[in-house]
Chains A and B, each alone.
Chain A
Amino acid sequence: MPDLPRKKVGLIACSGEERAEGTVTRRAVRQVLEKLRPDDTVTLCLPLFLAGGEGERAFARRYPTIAVDGCDERCAARATERYSARPAASIVVTEIAKESGSPDIGTARRLNGSGLRLADTAAARIAGETDRLLQRPRRRITEPAAAAGGCSCGSGLPQGTLRISGSDVRVAGLPIIFAQARERGLEPNAGTAAVLLETVGIYNEVPADRKQAWTDALIQGYAGFLEEKG
């Protein structure tokens, strides 16, 4: 059973297709998600900020984020700040490359050995920032590989649907949240609804003026989930 921790750090890679450093950001972020800090991180999708991903905006407003940029244009950091909230940390690959002396790292399509090593260094830096933001003691960066890391667009967090005020609303993480509540033996009552609402609010935008509607839908949805599971 996958677990939803109370707090995660959102990682936003610029993924810039014009520069090899953009590819380094992708590789470094995936490394943190898959191997270094799989339980503590999710990815936030940069283009979704503009394309209407309210889930990404909501997450970044409430939880710490690390922007990982390929160059000093800092698209990921600036987009996060513009559409949501200022990132808690910002990492720029060209700066790391300068420190580590990696002038030739390959192309955006194919990194060479130096590029791969640069991605390792950037990943270690991201993992360190994650520990700092979560106030965790620094850990060794070489840890066993875990399951694929979570992605806020839904690849890591399964989505469910709630019927809220007559409309179907996609809710990130809903099946896992319901499953965990069931595992804890929670009944579909007002107390449980408050817990569910708080957890759902980590991954979704719950408008302040619609909390009651969400609460009602969560109780109803959870009751249906329990019935289905027997």
Chain B
Amino acid sequence: MLPTYLEAQEAKQQIVISFSAEFGDHEIQLGEPYDWENETVSITALKYYISNLKLKYQGQVVYLDNAQAQLIDYSIPESKQIRLEIPEYAKFDEVSCNLGIDSAMNVSGALDGDLDPTKGMYWTWQSGYVNFKVEGFSSAIASKDGKFMFHLGGYLSPNLAVQSLNFSVDSMSEINFLLDLDQLLRTIDLNENSSVMSPSLKAVELSESVAQSIRIHE
């Protein structure tokens, strides 16, 4: 009993990790049209999983988030933050996490919480989580509704889509992960390719592009 009691008394520091997405210099609003590269683009859904969140100091893990995964959903503001409590004097110089769900979790049966299949991030015709989902409209797409849909995931090699994110950070109390949609959309020719909805090499390639479009907002 004693050590727990002592731990409870130990002073803690709060770390807030937030997730934002920008178009140009604007934090995106779902459904809002943006002028972009002679097109009009709007994002109607943006959701992704963050799992296996760790803080490290000189390569050693100083904090491991026990939550199995958090679904960052841009339609639910409170989902865009992860709050951690770490010992007051703990230092860290690196934050790492997975963008998506790893293979082990993908074969673990019926899960709950943010991994509940009712969250709309689980494929039904085949097992596996959608790691990253973005949907919207673009005037660049020739089809009549101009809709694009990217549901990226896959847990079986060679279509393993989960991405590892690692960033150097100072020991700061607020860390903001910024998804640069401008950069992401530049890597996709929407008129050529407006939908990826199942595990494939294309989904892996796009997942890598998403990971490369995320940076720490200074």
Q: State yes or no: do A and B come from one complex.
A: no
